Structure 1
Amino acid sequence: MSGFKRQEIAELIYNKLKLKQQDIKVAYQASKDQIGFFYIDDLLPVDIAKKCFEVFPDKSEMHTLKSLREYKHVSAQMDKHHELLESVIYAFQDKKVVELIGEICNIEALYADESLYAGGISLMAKNNYLHPHLDNSHDAERERWRVMNLLYYVTPEWETKNGGHLELWPNGPKKAPQLLESKFNRLIVMATHDRSWHSVNEVTIDSSRCCISNYYFSDDPLNNSDRFHVTKFRGRPEDTFTNIILDLDANLRMLLRKVFKKGIRKNPHFYKNKSS
């Protein structure tokens, strides 16, 4: 199965998007005044999707992010992992795929990110979570706006009761979220802007929810109201103490970015591709 090349996988993704284009465009347009999103089930042939899961690295081979904000395992250094995973990630960056998603979401200029800044692969195991947050607004150089988040899930038979599902907070993190299940072979595409609060609820079973992710960038923000911001985390509505701590944390990091435009240190989460 690793014999499937990036271009072949891109063609499969493109054809599925094209087949569902009208329905997913309607879904995105209906939700874009809050958090624009759409999803497609059965994105790739089942054998490819299952192979992605079979070759997914163990969490011990990934970088662990553990704090009050989040607890998950990530990697962008794709040459350390099975070639199929890299092929699938970059298939989403194929020019035809990017342009079609731009057409579906009515965004004129979209750019894929070869460096996989904050993208790549992620794994969430038992007790892992991601608190409500806004993704930081820009790329690493603060030159382009982060506007789309693509999440492709590859864990077979992942059920609602398992947790590890994407939550959108269209009315802000003080209101109830909308749950989008992290179903096997499902692609979720969501807009990222100054109101796109989202989270992942806690994984409840001793198993791994695996995801392949990409971000797209643009020359302009999706909302005219958007301004530069760091990643902002909140606690859940009932967790007042966490809200206070994470609010202080976001304000401090934002203050530092006003002094140090590109941060005190470079975010290590990107693909250090020796062949580039």
Structure 2
Amino acid sequence: MNRIDIAYIIHSNLELNYSKLKIQYESSKENIGFFYLDDILPLELAKQIYSVFPKSSEMVLKKSIREDKYIGVQMNKYDALLEEVLYAFQDERIVNLIGKICDIENLQPDSNLYAGGISMMANKQFLNPHLDNSHDKDRNLWRVLNLLYYVTPNWEEDYGGNLELWPKGLKNKQITIQSKFNRLAVMATHNESLHSVSPVNFEGSRKCVSNYYFSNEPLSKSDTFHVTSFRGRPENKFTDFALKADTKIRMLIRKIFKKGIKENPHVYKKE
């Protein structure tokens, strides 16, 4: 199936569940707005997407105290279906409909896949609490929505690798959104949208297709520019101290070099 066919299915399911999704987002947007929808694609198609994911050796390992995961963004190196499903979520009909669900005007998808693409987490891998970079790669648009489509069959919540939202900060209990097979999760990104992925504790791989939407305006008038800003989990005080210092250093660098010292490699460079 191509991206047009896939987008038609996604749009139909979002439209069918429009009222439920809008209520879900509205009830959460005062903190970190989110909604999720299960069975977004036909079962066999979702299984096929999972089956064509590349091996870890064909992806890029990002490993530090901030995160430990595999990513892929140079989509022409992988099975064509992965690129088709990625860009299906960028179809104008879907972008506009999600904009209506979240009451956000003039959403723009990111054809460069800046920090998007595909990702995979295996046993003991994680993504520490963080705020996403506030802007696109050229620092012209504001990042406002994060779309995560999970494709690992039979992934149970107690396996870890789940999306965690921290609307009340790290001193309060997080909201956990299970990385359930064939689930689309959409969350707002702004200065207060602290989120993480819990450590995987299972001998398997949680696989995900990721997109971001941008806008000319931030979600909140108080939002300011920031780099991707990491924190340690509540139980890891030393890591938290080190990551806060790391963020301060990188913010100082960005005050001098607006686009950073070197180009972020997490961009799809199309031939």
TM-score calculated relative to the size of structure 2: 0.99
* Residue equivalent to 1:43: 40
Q: Does 1:78 align with 2:79?
A: no
Is the contact made by 1:174 and 1:236 (CA closer than 8 Å) also made in structure 2? no
* Residue equivalent to 1:261: 258
Q: 2:52 is matched by which residue type in structure 1? A: V
Q: 2:179 is matched by which residue type in structure 1? A: S
How many residue pairs get aligned? The number is 271
- For 1:120-135, what aligned pairs fall within 5 Å after superposition? 120-135=117-132
User: SS of the counterpart of 1:31?
Assistant: coil
* Residue equivalent to 1:94: 91
- How far does residue 18 in structure 1 lie from its aligned partner after superposition? 0.1
* Residue equivalent to 1:228: 225
* Residue equivalent to 1:237: 234
* Residue equivalent to 2:141: 144
| Distance in structure 2 (CA, Å) of the matches to 1:173 and 1:62 | 31
Q: Where does structure 1 lack aligned partners over 5 or more consecutive residues?
A: none
Q: Does 1:117 align with 2:114?
A: yes
* Residue equivalent to 1:177: 174
* Residue equivalent to 2:214: 217
| Distance in structure 2 (CA, Å) of the matches to 1:160 and 1:117 | 28
* Residue equivalent to 1:194: 191
Superposition RMSD on alpha carbons, in Å?
0.6
* Deviation readout 1:23-62 (Å, 9 max, x if unpaired): 0000000000000000000000000000001000111100
Q: Does 1:64 align with 2:67?
A: no
Q: 1:100 is matched by which residue type in structure 2? A: L
TM-score calculated relative to the size of structure 1: 0.97
Q: Where does structure 2 lack aligned partners over 5 or more consecutive residues?
A: none
| Distance in structure 2 (CA, Å) of the matches to 1:242 and 1:215 | 27
User: SS of the counterpart of 1:258?
Assistant: helix
| Distance in structure 2 (CA, Å) of the matches to 1:238 and 1:92 | 36
User: SS of the counterpart of 1:146?
Assistant: strand
| Distance in structure 1 (CA, Å) of the matches to 2:252 and 2:168 | 26
| Distance in structure 2 (CA, Å) of the matches to 1:258 and 1:123 | 32
| Distance in structure 1 (CA, Å) of the matches to 2:215 and 2:126 | 29
Q: Identity of paired residues, percent? A: 56
4+ residue runs of structure 1 moved beyond 6 angstroms? none
| Distance in structure 1 (CA, Å) of the matches to 2:32 and 2:158 | 25
Q: Does 1:249 align with 2:241?
A: no
Q: Does 1:156 align with 2:156?
A: no
Is the contact made by 1:257 and 1:263 (CA closer than 8 Å) also made in structure 2? yes
| Distance in structure 1 (CA, Å) of the matches to 2:259 and 2:200 | 33
- How far does residue 238 in structure 1 lie from its aligned partner after superposition? 2.1
| Distance in structure 2 (CA, Å) of the matches to 1:32 and 1:231 | 21
- How far does residue 174 in structure 1 lie from its aligned partner after superposition? 2.6
- How far does residue 102 in structure 1 lie from its aligned partner after superposition? 0.5
Q: 1:112 is matched by which residue type in structure 2? A: P
User: SS of the counterpart of 2:120?
Assistant: strand
Is the contact made by 1:124 and 1:208 (CA closer than 8 Å) also made in structure 2? yes
User: SS of the counterpart of 1:189?
Assistant: strand
Q: 1:211 is matched by which residue type in structure 2? A: C
Is the contact made by 1:167 and 1:180 (CA closer than 8 Å) also made in structure 2? yes
User: SS of the counterpart of 2:109?
Assistant: coil
* Residue equivalent to 2:202: 205
